[in-house]
Amino acid sequence: MPVPGEVPTDRTIVLVGLMGAGKSCIGRRLATRLGLPFRDADAEIERAAGCSIEDIFELHGEAAFREGENRVISRLLADAPHVLATGGGAFMNPETRAAIGERAVSVWLRADLELMLKRTGRRNNRPLLKRGDPRKILSELMVQRYPVYGAADLVVDSVDGPPEVTVERVLDALRERAASIEDAPRVEGVEV
């Protein structure tokens, strides 16, 4: 039974959102706050492949990366509850999205373009952003992906400032969701 006012930790919490939205940084801190393990899907893909994401894109192509991404996330979702940061394209895969919907609570970390540009500009390791002007690419991805990210269970705005502020917002959103599920009318134990 969930404890009123507490964040339930019986399901994996999956962070989705564009590159530079802060999924790994916020995810790591969120996990610490909740006493859950933290996993990073990109890092797990690199470990499974034995090479970097850049190398996977270059040697095997984006389609192979996407297949690996779906496989790795499905495997992670079968593990005990944890906080999982996913790569920006993961939630676009309908199979991955359905698996997340079944087994986890999804949180879309939404950030504005300037913040994502600032954060992604710190490292030059994202193959998609090397295909042209990062501002144009990220803007196009916002148009393509935001309607799909909108299917996440929760949306939280990632702020430019101390990560703890965004972590607090995620915790509040998770608490609110838990409270609304508890309050939902039930018929013979079934949510209606």
How many whole angstroms separate alpha carbon 66 and alpha carbon 86?
A: 12
- Give the one residue of 89, 152, 158, 166 binding ligand S3P; rule: CB under 6 A: 89
Among 113, 128, 142, 179, binds ligand S3P (CB under 6 A): 128
Q: Which residues of 119-153 are buried (b: 16+ CB within 10 A; e: fewer)?
A: bbeeeeebebbeeeebeebbeebbeebeeebeebb
156: closest CA among 105, 121, 119?
Answer: 105
Least separation, in Å, of the C-beta of 42 and ligand S3P? 5
Site for ligand S3P contains 39 (CB under 6 A)? no
> What is the C-alpha to C-alpha distance for residues 115 and 7, in angstroms, rounded to an integer?
28
Q: How far apart are CA 74 and CA 124, in angstroms?
A: 28
The answer to whether residue 126 forms part of the interface with ligand S3P (CB under 6 A) is yes
Q: Which residue is nearest to ligand S3P (CB)?
A: 87
Kindly state whether residue 127 participates in binding ligand S3P, applying the rule CB under 6 A.
yes
Q: Which of 22, 68, 88, 134 binds ligand S3P (CB under 6 A)?
A: 88
Smallest gap from residue 5 Cβ to ligand S3P (A): 32
Which of 42, 91, 111, 169: binder of ligand S3P (CB under 6 A)? 42
Choices 25-33, 71-79, 87-95, 169-177 (CB under 6 A): range interacting with ligand S3P: 87-95
Distance in angstroms (rounded) separating the CA atoms of residues 63 and 56: 10
46 touches ligand S3P by CB under 6 A: no
Cα 38 from chain centre: 12
Which residues form the interface with ligand S3P (CB under 6 A)? 19, 23, 42, 53, 87-89, 126-128
